[in-house]
Chains A and B, each alone.
Chain A
Amino acid sequence: MADNESMKVVNLEGSLGIDKAHSIKDEITAAVDKNKKVMINLSHVEYIDLSIIQLLYAARSYAEKEKKELHLTGNLQDEVRDSFLIGGFCRQATNDASKLEKELIDFLQQD
């Protein structure tokens, strides 16, 4: 059962591609279901592809639907930051994930 006062940090690591998509989906879903607040730490991500970025969007909207909080955190590696930028998800390049989520188009519905 969800511990409504708890906060969970999901640490994503390494090179994240389609092969990791299912496990990451499950991990985040579980974290949102079980906690009031979820932080996704992107500091240790070396590479991110479109499937995982889509999952971040999906997680955010899911959390909103579930009335939970979900935020990105950590210090992005340049490669990851550029993926967000070139993929057209944001206008400003920033390595600070908590700032990045404010830049991501349509990421935050309400905040």
Chain B
Amino acid sequence: MIDKFKDTFKEEAFELLNNLENSLLELEDNPENKEEVSAVFRTMHTIKGSAAMFGFQHISEFTHDIENILDLVREGKVAASQELIDLTLAARDHIRLLLNEPEPPADELVKKSEALLKDFKDYISSVSGEGPKQSITLPEGKSIEDVRVISDDEAPADSYVEKKDVHHDHTVIYRIRIKLEEDIFQNGTKPLMLLRELEEFGDFTCVAYTHLIPELDSIDPEKNYTFWDVILTTKKKENDIRDVFIFVEDSCELDIKVIDDLDTIDEGKYKRLGEILSERGVVDELRTEQAANAQKKIGQILEEEGVPKSDVFGALEEQAHVERSRQRVQSEMSSSSIRVSSEKLDNLVDLVGEVVTLQARLAQTANTIQHGELSAISENFERLTAELRDETMSVRMLPIGTTFSKFKRLVRDLSRDLGKEVEMLTEGGETELDKTVIERLNDPLVHIIRNSIDHGVEMPDERTAAGKKPAGWVKLSALHSGANVLIRIEDDGAGLNKEKIRQKAINKEIISEKQELSDKEVYRLIFAPGFSTAQNVTSVSGRGVGMDVVKKEIDNLSGTVDVESRDGSGTVITLKIPLTLAIIEGLLVSIKDSKFVFPLGAVEECIELKKEQKESEKERKILNNRGELLPFLRLREVFHTEGSPPDIEQIVVVNAAGEKVGFVVDNVIGDHQTVIKNLGKMYRDLEGISGATILGDGSVALILDVQKLAAKVAAEEKEKVGT
């Protein structure tokens, strides 16, 4: 059971670390952004807390120390400098590493933690004494681990005017003790109006203390005898609260304390009554402890102590207010989203797939037996199934922006390593794609971005010489295009050097010297196995395996890669990826008794192949299709189908990697909702087949991998030309 929780913790921690990275990078661009400083602090705080809870003691201690340092930044005592951000990023990476290690971690990692903390300490001591903003003086005999936020009650009483607002945009709960002078009515002040103003700030609980009001015969009706405790849940800052009392500043005692921060919400109950009362100085802590030991009821103790009822009431109100606020925040958080394991989602999609398959059978049966009522039911069922399918698919959709933001760090680190200045721009991060597709896009995108920075964007001096700005950019954008998503990776670098690529391909014997290639074909050579345009192999772009891996992975996703390049002004790589891999629209065809499915997205048209045309094909399988030469492949031959084809065959024209290729089949049956099933280990490596689907009559149809089949046509063509 605890392992299950640990996994959940890890999952959440990884997510938090990603957020942390984003916040840090944001902070790097904008070091004065207090919101991000708070976000960074909050994230560390959350990791610390939950790590401790789940027994990751080392992580908890490590983050605890860093949290203390970040607190100094939050308080404005230390600036969020480049160096500090670098250190925090390193710490973030280290925590990520620790999360994957058993607890306690190996000595090596512990040493790394210590080294990192030392770096932090060295940094903090180095900025000490560099002027007021940067400086931090540690009390004698105290190390950085001992540094804590100076809480309001530790701070000198008169320091509030200078004190910076610590809580930015957090929803916090304040306890405000308001004591107005006796003569407050004399200047026309209406205390209840002040309270009304405070009430408008948020969730407001007010307790008046009336025990100082004398009896009627001794009261001076023109004097104030009441004071208040206000418990206020608000996003407002302490200074906003003080502003309410600005005109009575000299005649009022205002004590404002933050008693809870709802953005770093703690689990469980708020303080016990005794704790609140001792915190307020009503009873001393020792006595409440004794009371707890004596197993007496708190009410009894308080009565014995002669604690005024209003004090108890005030503490009770505080307790209720905080717990109410916490509950509300928690229910807000839990109702806005829930965490579901991706396994469950996959199962759901599988089940929906089964339903779609069953529905196809129902439709077929209803059609066969010509039963009116059953047909009506089947049609309704079909409509619902389609809705269910779309909804289920949409649950699996994630915005691609989550992946984009991961690359910001990559771009930052890479460009630094290479001594280049590269900014990463993103567009269309909200574009949604199937979760599985997003996961599998990660590696190809890493390779492409690496290449753009390594080979694309030039060194600053080269750029200046070429009349460009010294800092280059890489832009990631995504947009929907039908059932596909187009992902563009664009840079403003030098562009691809056609001649260099061509020469290299000849040297590597990827093409022959005589071969004439269009620009597009030359560009596409960069995806050929074993191709690398870099003069030196760098750790960044690897050994030239990158781009062919990209091509392979995108093929596996049934997507396409396209390259455009403008000399001297950059390269654009466009990935066209299907929205989902689970259910696709397909074109069902038959060859003899077997059925096959083409992904409909790739199909351009269907044409007939007549007998006379067959005669003319002879050796080369090329057809004149409305003036365009169309190479084609007989699937009968590919799958070694016995028997003779019908007189009129069909050609399915498919767009594969920008080229049109025809596939000859016996019959085109029509479009088909295709629930993709994996073929299992045994058949995984079958060339030309990407999966299978179950048809309405229960039979199986294979899904064709048109990219691979097209490559086969191209290879055959090449062979023929060669001979």
Which residues of A line the B interface, CB within 8 A? Answer: 17-18, 21-22, 24-25, 28-29, 32, 49-51, 53-55, 57-59, 61-63, 65, 83, 86-89, 91, 105-107
A53 to chain B, nearest CB (A): 8
Once A28-B216, A65-B215, A105-B309 are accepted as A-B contacts, the answer to whether A18 and B222 lie under 8 Å apart by CB is: yes
Contact A88 B230 (CB under 8 A): yes
How many angstroms from the CA of A25 to the CA of B207 in the assembled complex?
Answer: 24
Chain A CB count within 10 A is highest, among B195, B221, B310, for: B221
Once A18-B185, A51-B185 are accepted as A-B contacts, the answer to whether A86 and B219 lie under 8 Å apart by CB is: no
Residues of A within 8 A of B428 (CB): none
How many angstroms from the CA of A83 to the CA of B313 in the assembled complex?
Answer: 19
Contact A105 B310 (CB under 8 A): yes
Q: How extensive is the interface on chain B, given as a class? A: 20 to 34
How many angstroms from the CA of A54 to the CA of B191 in the assembled complex?
Answer: 12
Query: Of B221, B228, B230, B317, which contacts A51 at CB under 8 A?
Result: B221
How many angstroms from the CA of A29 to the CA of B229 in the assembled complex?
Answer: 30
Residues of A within 8 A of B192 (CB): 49-50, 83, 86-87
B304-315 vs A, CB cutoff 8 Å, 1 = contact: the mask equals: 000011100100
B192-236 vs A, CB cutoff 8 Å, 1 = contact: the mask equals: 100110010000111110110111110101101110111000000
Contact B310 A29 (CB under 8 A): no
Contact B222 A86 (CB under 8 A): no
Q: Tell me the chain B residues, 521-544 only, with Cβ under 8 Å from chain A.
A: none
How many angstroms from the CA of A29 to the CA of B219 in the assembled complex?
Answer: 11
B18 to chain A, nearest CB (A): 45
Which residues of B line the A interface, CB within 8 A? Answer: 185, 190-192, 195-196, 199, 204-208, 210-211, 213-217, 219, 221-222, 224-226, 228-230, 308-310, 313, 317
Query: Of A22, A24, A50, which contacts B224 at CB under 8 A?
Result: A50
Residues of B within 8 A of A32 (CB): 216
Contact A29 B217 (CB under 8 A): yes
Contact B221 A22 (CB under 8 A): yes
Contact A61 B213 (CB under 8 A): yes
B116 to chain A, nearest CB (A): 50
Once A54-B224, A105-B310 are accepted as A-B contacts, the answer to whether A88 and B206 lie under 8 Å apart by CB is: yes
How many angstroms from the CA of A89 to the CA of B195 in the assembled complex?
Answer: 12
A52 to chain B, nearest CB (A): 8
Once A18-B185, A28-B216 are accepted as A-B contacts, the answer to whether A87 and B222 lie under 8 Å apart by CB is: no
Contact B196 A86 (CB under 8 A): yes
**Would you list the 7 A-B pairs with minimal beta carbon distance, nearest first?**
A88-B206, A21-B221, A62-B216, A88-B208, A62-B215, A58-B219, A58-B216
Residues of A within 8 A of B195 (CB): 86-88
Q: Chain A: which residue is nearest B308 at the CB level?
A: A106
How many angstroms from the CA of A90 to the CA of B207 in the assembled complex?
Answer: 8
Q: Chain B: which residue is nearest A55 at the CB level?
A: B221
Residue contacts A-B, CB under 8 angstroms, 15 given = A18-B185, A21-B221, A25-B221, A50-B191, A54-B210, A61-B213, A63-B216, A65-B215, A86-B206, A87-B206, A88-B195, A88-B206, A88-B228, A89-B210, A106-B309
Residues of B within 8 A of A55 (CB): 216, 219, 221
Residues of A within 8 A of B229 (CB): 88
How many angstroms from the CA of A21 to the CA of B219 in the assembled complex?
Answer: 11
Residues of B within 8 A of A87 (CB): 191-192, 195, 206, 208, 226, 228
How many angstroms from the CA of A91 to the CA of B205 in the assembled complex?
Answer: 9
Chain A CB count within 10 A is highest, among B192, B195, B206, B230, for: B192
A61 to chain B, nearest CB (A): 5
How many angstroms from the CA of A46 to the CA of B565 in the assembled complex?
Answer: 80
Once A55-B216, A58-B219 are accepted as A-B contacts, the answer to whether A105 and B190 lie under 8 Å apart by CB is: no
A107 to chain B, nearest CB (A): 8
B319 to chain A, nearest CB (A): 13
B322 to chain A, nearest CB (A): 16
Residues of A within 8 A of B313 (CB): 105-106
How many angstroms from the CA of A75 to the CA of B208 in the assembled complex?
Answer: 23
How many angstroms from the CA of A61 to the CA of B216 in the assembled complex?
Answer: 7
B438 to chain A, nearest CB (A): 52
Residues of B within 8 A of A49 (CB): 190, 192
Query: Of A29, A91, A105, which contacts B216 at CB under 8 A?
Result: A29
Residues of A within 8 A of B208 (CB): 87-89, 105
Residues of B within 8 A of A25 (CB): 216, 219, 221
Residues of B within 8 A of A86 (CB): 192, 195-196, 199, 204, 206
How many angstroms from the CA of A22 to the CA of B220 in the assembled complex?
Answer: 8
Extra 5 A-B pairs, beta carbons < 8 Å, given A22-B222, A86-B199, A105-B310: A53-B226, A59-B216, A87-B191, A88-B195, A106-B313
How many angstroms from the CA of A106 to the CA of B208 in the assembled complex?
Answer: 10
How many angstroms from the CA of A65 to the CA of B218 in the assembled complex?
Answer: 12
Q: Chain A: which residue is nearest B197 at the CB level?
A: A86
Q: Chain B: which residue is nearest A87 at the CB level?
A: B192
Q: Chain B: which residue is nearest A59 at the CB level?
A: B216
B315 to chain A, nearest CB (A): 13
How many angstroms from the CA of A107 to the CA of B205 in the assembled complex?
Answer: 19
B155 to chain A, nearest CB (A): 27
How many angstroms from the CA of A25 to the CA of B317 in the assembled complex?
Answer: 31
How many angstroms from the CA of A24 to the CA of B221 in the assembled complex?
Answer: 9
